[in-house]
Chains A and B, each alone.
With several copies, the nearest count.
Chain A
């Protein structure tokens, strides 16, 4: 009997059982209920589809999908699986095509995913071919509904998913638009293999508590510290999204528990030989040096000083996942601005000064799961609620995430 079948998870979200990270049935239900359920999955940036015929291939959970700019200029999406005998339709990461031909038997589709041609449908020299009743209109890959918010493209297989803006809620939309205010351009891609279940990365992202404790670099250079002004925003509907932010300390820094506590993470004496990496500009004019925004189930929008990126985490089996980083700037950035973003990209990614540790800490949890039996995580920092608050000494965003997860998974 699998853990899911025996469902050993008490009420509430201040306790989370470790078996969620190591159970086949949980993973199967996540594909059906979370990724293919009434949620919106990040696909790519609209900037990656500039011209008609441009397409990108990605995944909705484990399902391969194609996102394309149709010849009529609209953005379309559908499952990347031929309606005949299931071959991948596009096997490159991106490309441009007027139509899509399956390599196996040459069935062809338009960029909306409609089946337009079946090779030898009428047979050859009157022999073979498809039966007369075969109707092309009945055969096509599963379509995706596409949502677009500020040039970030999302997709869903579900009719039950609310409109994207309603799904996100006004608080999140505002914070997305703060960053997506102008057309963007991609500056670089990176994949990172994570040695843990995908949800452990989302826990890490939604955990403002760990930032200044796990990431020394952060605190040492006051890029972020818990005693800096900052907080978290959770949408009123509590649909599992959140924003975590912090800003420059204006005026004199007042002592706090933070400074009194003895922390591994504090090394006041530590200085850079070449501090040019920190020469950022307050391009948003609001003094916010860090904004991490997460959308349920697996999307992250990052602003760390001038380093901008979207991230997406996907399961690779139970104990591994893949994190995709798409670094971007604004289409109208000048060379100098691009150089700033390039240097600050050293802060993030798999080698990033302030994100490096996030690559392994999920693995540290994953390694304890096999022996954990029915043990559970304790998520009580900041109490039991899951509301917006102006402190980051809280795990409220995690509670919001798990609340949504339980609803959608029905556990």
Chain B
């Protein structure tokens, strides 16, 4: 296996989750190629090949719109996420594109301190670029849980 690629892909994911957990959402679209595919869906929909999930974006613009909607338009209680990811596994590495999957869980912490296991699942990623300049051409967020508690505002 290629040690460097492994560590770089892990580092990309580390930067990605810290970006979200630190609330730097404006930087989040920058982790993606443009056009791209970002889809949050449930394992059930994914396995039954149903196209409608929880949220989809096919361009950086749609990702930016998500952020501005959260900043400007939508009302939701102050909350933060804590991503715990593990087992980044590179499943293919050819011609500048790396395919990888990783396990994740997200704990949602409300401003009043309430802490809940919000969701778990698998990232299925296609990564383009090299070194520290890698971006996600495709990021499927496949949730194990088909129930979302209350609402899903912040991206996963």
A and B touching (Cβ–Cβ under 8 A): yes
Binding site for B on A (CB under 8 A): 91-93, 103, 186-195, 214, 216-217, 220, 267, 270, 272-274, 276-277, 322, 327, 338, 341-343, 345-346, 349-351, 353, 356-357, 359-360, 363
Q: How many A-B residue pairs have CB under 8 A?
A: 126
Contact B54 A351 (CB under 8 A): yes
Q: Min CB distance, A185 to chain B, in Å?
A: 10
Complex alpha-carbon distance, A187 and B150, angstroms: 22
Complex alpha-carbon distance, A214 and B150, angstroms: 16
Complex alpha-carbon distance, A195 and B112, angstroms: 15
Complex alpha-carbon distance, A363 and B79, angstroms: 15
Q: Min CB distance, B12 to chain A, in Å?
A: 24
Contact A216 B112 (CB under 8 A): no
Contact A357 B74 (CB under 8 A): yes
Mask, B96-112, CB within 8 Å of A = 1, is 00000000000000011
Using a CB-CB cutoff of 8 Å, which residues 39-78 of chain B contact chain A? 40-42, 44-45, 50-56, 58-62, 64-65, 68-69, 72-78
Complex alpha-carbon distance, A191 and B64, angstroms: 26
Complex alpha-carbon distance, A353 and B65, angstroms: 10
A91-B77, A188-B41, A188-B45 in contact; A270/B150 too (CB < 8 A)? no
A220-B73, A351-B54, A360-B76 in contact; A191/B151 too (CB < 8 A)? no
Complex alpha-carbon distance, A171 and B14, angstroms: 55
Instruction: Tell me which of B42, B58, B62, B78 contacts A190 (CB under 8 A).
Output: B42
A273-B64, A353-B73 in contact; A345/B52 too (CB < 8 A)? yes
Residue of A nearest to B151 (CB): A359
Complex alpha-carbon distance, A351 and B68, angstroms: 14
Residues of A within 8 A of B41 (CB): 188
Residues of A within 8 A of B53 (CB): 188, 190, 345
Residues of A within 8 A of B54 (CB): 190, 349-351
- Say which one of B18-26, B80-88, B141-149 lies at the interface with A: B141-149
Contact B68 A270 (CB under 8 A): yes
Contact A273 B78 (CB under 8 A): no
A93-B111, A214-B75 in contact; A273/B65 too (CB < 8 A)? yes
Residue of A nearest to B39 (CB): A342
Contact B148 A190 (CB under 8 A): yes
B89 at the binding interface (Cβ < 8 Å): no
A214-B75, A217-B69, A357-B75 in contact; A189/B150 too (CB < 8 A)? no
Residues of B within 8 A of A360 (CB): 75-77, 150-151
A273-B61, A350-B150 in contact; A356/B76 too (CB < 8 A)? yes
Chain B interface size band reads 35 or more
Contact A92 B111 (CB under 8 A): yes
Q: Min CB distance, B62 to chain A, in Å?
A: 5
Mask, B122-137, CB within 8 Å of A = 1, is 0000000000000000
Residues of B within 8 A of A217 (CB): 69, 73-74
Classify the interface of chain A: helix, strand, loop or mixed.
mixed
Residue of A nearest to B155 (CB): A351
Instruction: Tell me which of B42, B72, B77, B113 contacts A270 (CB under 8 A).
Output: B72
Residue of B nearest to A216 (CB): B73
Contact B75 A186 (CB under 8 A): no
A267-B73, A270-B68 in contact; A192/B111 too (CB < 8 A)? no
Complex alpha-carbon distance, A217 and B65, angstroms: 11
A345-B52, A346-B55, A351-B55 in contact; A92/B78 too (CB < 8 A)? yes
Contact B146 A191 (CB under 8 A): yes
Contact A274 B65 (CB under 8 A): yes
B11 at the binding interface (Cβ < 8 Å): no
Residues of B within 8 A of A353 (CB): 69, 73-74
B152 at the binding interface (Cβ < 8 Å): yes
**Which of A187, A216, A273 has the most B CB atoms < 10 Å from its CB?**
A273
Q: Min CB distance, A64 to chain B, in Å?
A: 11
- 8 cross-chain CB contacts under 8 A: A187-B52, A188-B41, A188-B45, A188-B50, A192-B150, A273-B64, A322-B147, A351-B153
Contact B65 A187 (CB under 8 A): no
Complex alpha-carbon distance, A189 and B50, angstroms: 8
Residues of A within 8 A of B56 (CB): 342-343, 345-346
Contact A342 B51 (CB under 8 A): yes
Residues of A within 8 A of B62 (CB): 273-274, 276-277, 346
Instruction: Tell me which of B44, B75, B153 contacts A216 (CB under 8 A).
Output: B75
Complex alpha-carbon distance, A216 and B73, angstroms: 5
Contact B72 A267 (CB under 8 A): yes
Contact B73 A350 (CB under 8 A): no
Q: Min CB distance, B121 to chain A, in Å?
A: 14
Q: Min CB distance, A262 to chain B, in Å?
A: 17
Complex alpha-carbon distance, A317 and B60, angstroms: 41
Residues of A within 8 A of B112 (CB): 93
A190-B146, A273-B61 in contact; A342/B52 too (CB < 8 A)? yes
Complex alpha-carbon distance, A91 and B150, angstroms: 15
